[in-house]
Chain A
Amino acid sequence: MLECLLRHNEKINYSCKIGTCQTCLLKSENSEIPPGAQTGLPKNLVKQKYFLSCLLYPEFDLTISNANEKDLFRKAKTISKQNLSDSVLQLILEPDGFVDFFAGQFINLKADEQMIRSYSMASNPAKYELIELHIKRMPNGKMSNWLFDELQVGDEIEFQGPNGNSFYNKDNLVQPMLLIGTGTGLAPLLSITRSAIGHGHRGEIVLYHGTRHSSGLYLNNELLELSSKVNNFSYNACLSGDIEFNGPLNGRANELALQKHKDLTGWQVFLCGEPQMVKETQKRAYLAGANLDEIHLDPFNLRDLRKRSRKKKLNDR
């Protein structure tokens, strides 16, 4: 349905097109909705006959309407903005009330009708008063540049969520966990780490954070400190580019993690970052013995950014 609407130039929000980000929500006026189109939606939205247009394959005539803003979006106040590095902004929001989320989930921020993007929460759900997000400035990213440059402390911003099914399950406190994230893929892993430690997780918590340049290790000091305080938590900073100071490992985070942890039987694995890395690592973690159900994926499915930036570069020449 989404493809059809876009083909006919309907103005409709979307991002991932695979049922993850939930930005392409529409509402049905029919009592019946084809199966699968409500996958992953919270109960209140299912009841109100919301569906994901990217997952809907029409089987009969449907009458649809746009999502009602009031059903979906809530407000949050911008409490603070702090640069964690040249390209990563820490945004602290105070939501208008309780946000019941699991560590590892994300919300969709809305700048205006045409600009809605997903960001993982880095905060510990047990401390729900404030939501922490890590925003990477994308060279041609409208949303990230707006958050960096336009949004002011004190401003209100709308959000929808929580969403996502890659999250920490506190029911098994002894299970070892391997967390691999690249770039701001660290954010949900940080939330999981904080939540697990908060719940008294006793199994190993092994975090690999990878970036190309040292400035991308934007929480290096904090995580080193945390690992020195918490016995079962270890932090491995990985640089695929040049090493500019002592400490980080040299190589890609997923490669280094899998080299060290050759047997993942019984492990819980969380992967967040570039889709190709996530997919490849999923397969390798599975072959190393992890159950497919216990490998949780949170790929960044960026919308058209690469295409646009490449085009622009060509024009610049």
Chain B
Amino acid sequence: MPAILYERIGGEVAVNSAVDIFYRKVLSDDSISHFFDSTDMGEQRAKQKSFLTMAFGGPNNYTGSDLRSAHKALVENGLGEAHFNSVAKHLQDTLSELKVTDDLITEVMAIAASTHDDVLNL
């Protein structure tokens, strides 16, 4: 049986190298950066780290209803399909930049895509 995605992609080391690059891309994107404005940067990065851990198939405490409630206020403030796709694109670009193989990227993106309905409260 092949190792789980999280191990194949490099575990916590991989998450740590990805998180700064990913969060920088998100904050530099004017179409979505305002959703990340109000919070403390240290806290915000910790959240990005949990998200990446989840997307990499790693140990996490996320449930669908957590994702729903966490994004509820953002959806009320206009978070929509386009924003979800932008974040997904930044995730994909981050992984390409880190020279993650296409197979693994496909697996990560599938996990990210599976959060779509919960994140957007559909």
> Which secondary structure dominates chain A's binding surface?
helix
Distance in angstroms between the alpha carbons of A173 and B118 in the assembled complex:
48
List chain B residues, Cβ under 8 A from A279.
41
Decide if B41 touches A282 in the complex (CB within 8 Å): yes
Interface centre among B23, B24, B28, B45, by most chain A C-beta atoms within 10 angstroms, is: B24
Task: Flag whether A308 is at the interface (Cβ < 8 A).
Answer: no
Distance in angstroms between the alpha carbons of A289 and B24 in the assembled complex:
8
Task: Flag whether B81 is at the interface (Cβ < 8 A).
Answer: no
Q: Which B residues from 1 to 42 make CB contacts under 8 A with A?
A: 20, 23-24, 27-28, 41-42
List chain B residues, Cβ under 8 A from A283.
27, 41
List chain B residues, Cβ under 8 A from A286.
24, 27, 41
Decide if A292 touches B27 in the complex (CB within 8 Å): no
**A292 and B20 in contact (CB under 8 A), knowing A282-B41, A283-B41?**
yes
User: Given contacts A289-B24, A292-B42, A292-B45, could you give 14 more A-B pairs where the C-beta distance is less than 8 Å?
Assistant: A279-B41, A282-B41, A283-B27, A283-B41, A286-B24, A286-B27, A286-B41, A287-B24, A287-B27, A287-B28, A291-B20, A292-B20, A292-B23, A292-B41
List chain A residues, Cβ under 8 A from B45.
292
- Per-residue CB proximity of A123-159 to B under 8 Å, as 1/0? 0000000000000000000000000000000000000
List chain B residues, Cβ under 8 A from A289.
24
Distance in angstroms between the alpha carbons of A283 and B37 in the assembled complex:
10
What number of A residues sit within 8 Å (CB to CB) of B?
8
Distance in angstroms between the alpha carbons of A286 and B24 in the assembled complex:
7
Which residue of chain A is the closest to B40 with respect to CB atoms?
A279
Distance in angstroms between the alpha carbons of A286 and B44 in the assembled complex:
13
Distance in angstroms between the alpha carbons of A244 and B24 in the assembled complex:
40
Distance in angstroms between the alpha carbons of A282 and B45 in the assembled complex:
13
- Per-residue CB proximity of B61-98 to A under 8 Å, as 1/0? 00000000000000000000000000000000000000
Distance between B44 CB and nearest chain A CB, rounded to angstroms = 10
Distance in angstroms between the alpha carbons of A286 and B45 in the assembled complex:
12
17 cross-chain CB contacts under 8 A: A279-B41, A282-B41, A283-B27, A283-B41, A286-B24, A286-B27, A286-B41, A287-B24, A287-B27, A287-B28, A289-B24, A291-B20, A292-B20, A292-B23, A292-B41, A292-B42, A292-B45
List chain A residues, Cβ under 8 A from B23.
292
Q: Which A residues from 262 to 297 make CB contacts under 8 A with B?
A: 279, 282-283, 286-287, 289, 291-292
Distance in angstroms between the alpha carbons of A283 and B40 in the assembled complex:
10
Q: Which A residues from 13 to 49 make CB contacts under 8 A with B?
A: none
List chain B residues, Cβ under 8 A from A282.
41
List chain B residues, Cβ under 8 A from A291.
20
The 7 tightest CB contacts between A and B, nearest first, are A287-B28, A292-B45, A291-B20, A287-B27, A282-B41, A287-B24, A292-B20
Distance between A115 CB and nearest chain B CB, rounded to angstroms = 29
Distance in angstroms between the alpha carbons of A293 and B69 in the assembled complex:
29
- Per-residue CB proximity of A88-100 to B under 8 Å, as 1/0? 0000000000000
Distance in angstroms between the alpha carbons of A264 and B6 in the assembled complex:
31
List chain A residues, Cβ under 8 A from B27.
283, 286-287
List chain A residues, Cβ under 8 A from B42.
292
List chain B residues, Cβ under 8 A from A292.
20, 23, 41-42, 45
List chain A residues, Cβ under 8 A from B28.
287
Distance in angstroms between the alpha carbons of A287 and B25 in the assembled complex:
8
Which residue of chain B is the closest to A295 with respect to CB atoms?
B41
